[in-house]
Amino acid sequence: MLPSARLVFAPPHPAAKPFLVGGIIVFLLGLLFSWWLVWLGAAFTLFCLYFFRDPERVPPGRVGVILAPADGKVVTLTTGVPPPELGLGDKPRWRIGIFLSLFNVHVNRIPADGTVTRIVYRHGRFLDASTEEAATSNERNALAIRLADDKDLAVVQIAGWVARRIVCDVHEGDVVSAGSRFGIIRFGSRTELYLPEGVSPLVALGQTMVGGETVVAELR
């Protein structure tokens, strides 16, 4: 099977279950009452199967690299202070913002081996996730990860104007591996990565990211 086919027909993430059940119910009701419900249920179910697809990813076998936390396009490449709720200080560090369209895989992945030291969810607005204002104003879930060299990085899941649910499957104290899944954002979103202090990015604005595979920085 071609790689593109493996991507399109990858099994869905568990977060898809309630949506798939809803689509199937509408489809079955349509068989009893109306054909337009059949088409609506079928279309919604197929869309959810596509949106929630969760393909396997193969992290590069390199020590000391930081990987992209999500698929999508780099829309922000600047310095900034990590979310204050994470307690990582007020010293600016490199910030990489990745915008995920409806057509991207929305499963989030751990950027580097380490330990989750803090997770903080914050309510907010639902602006277009491709805008810079969304990074500070939208609903978000922020994670701080302590690396083996005692440096810290931060990953922030940010909801978009369509998204209304951020799912995080890890907990404070969890030991995590680079490229492993840690959550998903439903229906259009943004993921931001704050690199450790003193680490510079290896990516460019507009570059396409593959979550869990694209190398965005080196710790050396």
Confidence of residue 166 (pLDDT cuts 50, 70, 90): confident
* Tens of pLDDT, residues 179-199: 999 999 877 688 999 999 999
Domain ranges of the chain: 3-51, 65-218
Q: Provide the 10 A C-beta neighbour count for residue 83.
A: 22
What pLDDT is attached to residue 129?
Answer: 67
Average pLDDT over residues 155-168: 79
Residue 173 tokens read as: 């104290």
What pLDDT is attached to residue 164?
Answer: 59
Q: 110-120 burial string, b = 16+ CB within 10 Å, else e? A: bbbbbebbbbb
* Tens of pLDDT, residues 27-67: 998 888 888 899 999 999 998 898 889 999 999 988 889 99
Considering 4, 101, 177, 189, which one is annotated as catalytic?
189
Predicted TM-score (pTM) of the model is: 0.87
The answer to whether the beta carbons of residues 192 and 150 sit under 8 Å apart is: no
The answer to whether the beta carbons of residues 71 and 104 sit under 8 Å apart is: yes
Residue 126 tokens read as: 């639902």
Q: State the chain's mean pLDDT as an integer.
A: 88
Average pLDDT over residues 6-15: 75
* Tens of pLDDT, residues 89-136: 999 999 999 999 888 889 999 999 999 999 999 887 776 666 777 777
Tell me the CATH number of domain 65-218, given options 3.40.50.300, 2.70.70.10, 3.20.20.70, 3.10.50.40: 2.70.70.10
What pLDDT is attached to residue 18?
Answer: 87
Active site residue 130: no
